[in-house]
Chains A and B, each alone.
Chain A
């Protein structure tokens, strides 16, 4: 019985740890977004939200989160993503999202930039961020 409970708790914690929240600043007008729109923004096919508001992408320097996120929104693995960015960078058509090393840096950037959009494990979000989508 105890074993089953422990397993259930472990599984739900693990599931929770792999859930990413797509976030914007609390000051942002954006409340929701589709996967397609998210893909276009993070692959730099557009620099605007669907309402015309300018978008600034930022992400954690973390391959695990990037892998989950890009697989979901663009069906690309990290290798394919790298090739995609190389072509974009060297043809001058787009630049990859700005990268930061810590959750804290990411939260500060989101808090101070109403146009910023990012993703992070849902448990690290706080009152300064607005969750507009969950990715499991």
Chain B
């Protein structure tokens, strides 16, 4: 009952108070919300509510400031997902200042999401994509998918092709796990290069990011050494490709991320492919994705394979445009997971997941 009341309150707040608008000549406000219901065969049901706001203030014809805040369910004192208002988490996704030069060059400074993938930049705004979920769980490297720093963007065109080239410089941080025993990383000297190509019949984004990280292990308190540096100068890199091909009513979408941490830990290979048919307000789709982690171990400067883990998903879904700013989506997903570490620990499992979502934007 409580949950239903919260759900209704969430809807009322969103639909009555929020309105995308050019509030003044200088200020634009946009908002979004997601309601997800999930039923898995492994005996769980979830209702997730999330939303957020984006504001853009134009200081003058050359300078603007953009900020996006995402609000999502948090965890209760037992560490379980909680929709209670006291447990909600607020996350600053974007905060940057743009300076527009002549000739379509923009200098940007602040906090950003990793470029290349549309889903990495709009993943929380589920209305912007067809599926019930973004196809891959991570669009970054080693748990980091955002960074603080500066970017230079240049738009240009050649014949019927439009391009956007993006040079990114900055730093980031990551934390894998939230308790003792978790690993923290400071990612420095991050350099990224992205080229996005737009054409009437396709889109192609290619990106490369490389950086250097220092990793720390949070030790158990009784060891009297709470933070221990476990490796210095870990080189990490990420290659990403995303494409969309438009063939009449059909759209083919695919993406690939390959990340690598030299010296230690994992090498990841994640990819997806989907086909959708756009018929008026209805879009049925099929989505396939696979996420593979190759685990490695370093002993006496020799790197050996220590295991492999993967997750494979097949989804069949439907998107329906209820109105100009509301989309309903339904999907069935079959998920297979398998992992094997040093021939000692093995895991194998599968699940069937049903999802219904309502996404809206203002």
Interface residues of A (CB under 8 A from B): 36, 40, 45-48, 52, 54, 56, 75, 79, 82-83, 86-87, 89-93, 95, 98-99
Contact = CB atoms under 8 A, between A and B. Distances in A.
A87 B200 CA distance: 16
Given A40-B157, A56-B61, A82-B324, A95 B56 contact: yes
Interface string B47-67: 000000010100001000010
A47 B68 contact: no
B86 interface: no
A92 B128 contact: no
Contacts of A47: 100, 104, 155
A52 B317 CA distance: 46
B95 to A, nearest CB: 11
Contacts of A83: 128
Contacts, number: 59
A79 B94 contact: no
Contact of A52 (B22, B68, B102, B125): B102
B147 interface: no
B324 A90 contact: no
Nearest to B361: A86
A93 B56 CA distance: 12
Contact of B68 (A56, A90, A95): A90
22 contacts: A36-B160, A40-B157, A45-B155, A46-B104, A46-B155, A46-B157, A47-B100, A47-B155, A48-B103, A52-B102, A54-B102, A86-B127, A87-B118, A87-B122, A89-B28, A89-B30, A89-B54, A91-B118, A91-B121, A92-B96, A95-B56, A98-B25
Contacts of A86: 125, 127-128, 361
B60 to A, nearest CB: 12
B353 interface: no
Interface string B95-127: 010001011100000001000001001100101
Interface in B317-359: 321, 324
A19 to B, nearest CB: 26
B157 A92 contact: no
